[in-house]
Amino acid sequence: MLQTVAHYGCHFLIPLAVALLFYKSNWKFAYLIMVLGMLIDLDHLLSNPIFDPNRCSINFHPLHTYYAMGLYVLLLIPKKTRLIGLGLVIHIIADTVDCSLM
């Protein structure tokens, strides 16, 4: 239970905090873009079984690999892609926390 709360808390509350702290005038848009970073979980559909509560996503699913993470960090550099990068990096952090609590 604690693991699930921590995982989804990271997915939803960290982007909200970032949006409220750093994008005050446009926080709803910033929050939406960052939460859309959860779409990288679509790569779970390529796995069999699709969901395994005992499996760590990090470096298992294609969009959760270290190579993909490098790209996500690079997306933080240009201002035009920063929100997307933040959403993806926050997503990876949430999954890392999830893996560490397993």
Tell me the pLDDT tens digit for each residue of 4-30: 777 778 889 999 999 999 999 999 999
* Structural domains counted in the chain: 1
As to burial, measured by CB atoms within 10 angstroms (0-12 exposed, 13-18 middle, 19+ buried), residue 6 is: middle
Residue with tokens 């926080």: 27
Q: Domain of residue 76: give its range.
A: 2-100
58 pLDDT band (50/70/90 cuts)?
A: very high
Which of 36, 26, 10, 23 has its CA nearest to residue 90? Answer: 10
Please give the model's pTM, rounded to 2 decimal places: 0.89
Angle (CA) 9 3 18, round 5°: 20
